[in-house]
Amino acid sequence: MAKNYPYIATPPPGPNARRIIALDQAYSSPSYIKEYPLVVERGEGPMIEDVDGNRFLDFMAGIAVASTGHSHPNVVAAIEAAAHKFLHICATDFYYAGFSRLCERLARLAPGPEPKRVFLTNSGTEATEGAIKLVRAHTKRQNIIAFRGGFHGRTMGAISLNSSKVRYRAGFGPLLPGVYHLPYADPYHCSVGHKPSECGDPLSCALEEADSLFHERLDPSEVAAVFMEPILGEGGYIIPPREFLQYWRDFCDEHGAVLVFDEVQSGMGRTGHMFAADMFDIAPDVTLLAKGLASGMPLGAIIAKESVMTWGRGSHGSTFGGNPVCCAAAEATLDLIEQSLMKNAARVGAKLIEGARALQQKHDIIGDVRGAGLMIGITFVRDRITKEPYHGLVPELELAAFKRGLLLLGCGRSTIRLAPPLVIDEEDAANGLRILDEALMELRVAA
């Protein structure tokens, strides 16, 4: 594919795209969201080409997954080499070197000095599910603390922990008992709904409810685990104050609960650190990974302190988890992230945040810009003083950007996430910001 420059040949969806969409709509499950009518033909680096020859700059990376860019040659070569050897044998029951090497590497990389052990899964939700079983088996307790705005996947245990959108749970109950949702400290929008003029500080607002929960309804000694995203992903790309994470680290230490960081979205170099936990310098007991771990091949991980991963032989397994081809993709991905992409994410991410803040000066509907590396959130408001969220803007903005050759994705209730592949350079960042600016201007004119 030519230069990293977005190019619209036929207004999308073009005729080829429309044919595929019609086929899909006739046969695929109606539960799929299909954010906008992007129909992909191929990808390279940060660019996606659709089936009608349009070229898009990808600022969402297939929901923060294509960490090394689309079809990075090193990753493709690793996949090819592994595929030629064997496709499957089942790591639950047998051995192969790539699997064991990857477990060792992840165990050594995970935050904190204690020895770790690793269980490999096919997805983020399977990592969540396994972690729920692990913390119950390890602590012999049932109750779990999770957070408002949190997202951990789509299976029954994971949806029990979710509270980012009601549609993830609606109609699927009864869910897992013993899950308590508490506010997540949000430095911009008060987590308990106080008006900006009345909000004390985000930390004390978020912790008020924890205080009453543990005094009135739940004995902390009966908490098995605290499941949290160290940076909220689906819930709005919210970066909490460090003290919030420290509070829960201390809570778990004091009461013998397990602190689980779901780094499915924030891990693998996205924040400019291997894990968001490193950025805060707070080590959990368990880290969950997926998404960017294998550049788009289906692979997730539960990395737990050896002292926590105490379940017995046969108590958990997976037919496909840690597939040899996926492990090879993950090893190549880790090489690239460690060699250059983590640093690139920090460097280009800082430029992107700076550029987004310049847009904030120009567009008064941008209430807040925050980010770490290439995990950046832009929140839209109707009024900067009251911070009233600008509901309904994000889908329109996604579409306006798409028609100009930029792929965006919303999160939370009025936020756009910038989560491009970690390979983007300054020119890509400038192109993305330019299209974002044009799309915002179009929407303002239309408003």
Ligand X SMILES: Cc1ncc(COP(=O)(O)O)c(C=O)c1O
End-to-end CA distance of the chain: 36
DSSP-assigned beta bridge partners for residue 82: none
Single out the segment in contact with ligand X by CB under 6 A; choices: 121-129, 136-144, 196-204, 370-378.
121-129
Type and span of the H or E element at 82? helix 73-85
Q: Which of 50, 52, 58, 262 binds ligand X (CB under 6 A)?
A: 262
Q: Which is nearer to ligand X, 264 or 381 (CB)?
A: 264
Single out the segment in contact with ligand X by CB under 6 A; choices: 4-12, 41-49, 120-128, 421-429.
120-128
| Entry field: residues in the chain | 447
Asked whether position 123 contacts ligand X by CB under 6 A, the answer is yes
Shortest distance, position 119 Cβ to ligand X, whole Å? 15
Q: Which has the closest alpha carbon to 135: 242, 255, 230, 239? A: 255
Asked whether position 125 contacts ligand X by CB under 6 A, the answer is yes
Residues 6 or more apart whose Cβ sits within 8 Å of residue 148: 163, 181, 182, 183, 184, 191, 235
d(CA 124, CA 83): 23
Q: What is the largest CA-CA distance in the chain?
A: 63
144 touches 132 (CB < 8 A)? yes
Asked whether position 240 contacts ligand X by CB under 6 A, the answer is no
φ, ψ for residue 41 (rounded to 5)? -100, -50
H helix count then E strand count, the chain: 13, 16
Shortest distance, position 249 Cβ to ligand X, whole Å? 19
Asked whether position 265 contacts ligand X by CB under 6 A, the answer is yes
d(CA 330, CA 292): 9
Total residues interacting with ligand X, rule: CB under 6 A: 15
Helix 97-109 × helix 324-336 angle, to 10°: 40
Asked whether position 152 contacts ligand X by CB under 6 A, the answer is yes
282 touches 246 (CB < 8 A)? yes
Asked whether position 377 contacts ligand X by CB under 6 A, the answer is no
**Cα–Cα distances in angstroms (integers) from residue 104 to residues 13, 120, 143, in the given order:** 45, 12, 31
Q: Which of 45, 69, 124, 236 binds ligand X (CB under 6 A)?
A: 124
Residue nearest to ligand X (CB): 124
Q: Which is nearer to ligand X, 7 or 320 (CB)?
A: 320
Pairing relationship of beta strands 47-50 and 55-58 according to DSSP bridges: antiparallel
d(CA 367, CA 380): 5
Q: Which of 12, 153, 183, 421 binds ligand X (CB under 6 A)?
A: 153
Q: Which is nearer to ligand X, 290 or 330 (CB)?
A: 290
Asked whether position 163 contacts ligand X by CB under 6 A, the answer is no
Residues 6 or more apart whose Cβ sits within 8 Å of residue 402: 12, 36, 37, 38, 56, 408
Shortest distance, position 443 Cβ to ligand X, whole Å? 26
Site string for ligand X, 178-197 (x = CB under 6 A): --------------------
Q: Which of 290, 346, 407, 440 binds ligand X (CB under 6 A)?
A: 290
- Amino acid at position 124, single letter: G
Token pair, residue 426, equals 């300054």
Q: Which is nearer to ligand X, 290 or 301 (CB)?
A: 290
Asked whether position 238 contacts ligand X by CB under 6 A, the answer is no
Q: Which is nearer to ligand X, 17 or 182 (CB)?
A: 182
Q: Which of 229, 278, 331, 368 binds ligand X (CB under 6 A)?
A: 229
Single out the segment in contact with ligand X by CB under 6 A; choices: 105-113, 173-181, 189-197, 226-234.
226-234
Asked whether position 162 contacts ligand X by CB under 6 A, the answer is no
Shortest distance, position 109 Cβ to ligand X, whole Å? 18
212 touches 197 (CB < 8 A)? no
Site string for ligand X, 34-73 (x = CB under 6 A): -----------------------------x----------
Q: Which of 119, 151, 214, 390 binds ligand X (CB under 6 A)?
A: 151
422 touches 337 (CB < 8 A)? yes
Residues near ligand X (CB under 6 A): 63, 123-125, 128, 151-153, 229, 233-234, 262, 264-265, 290
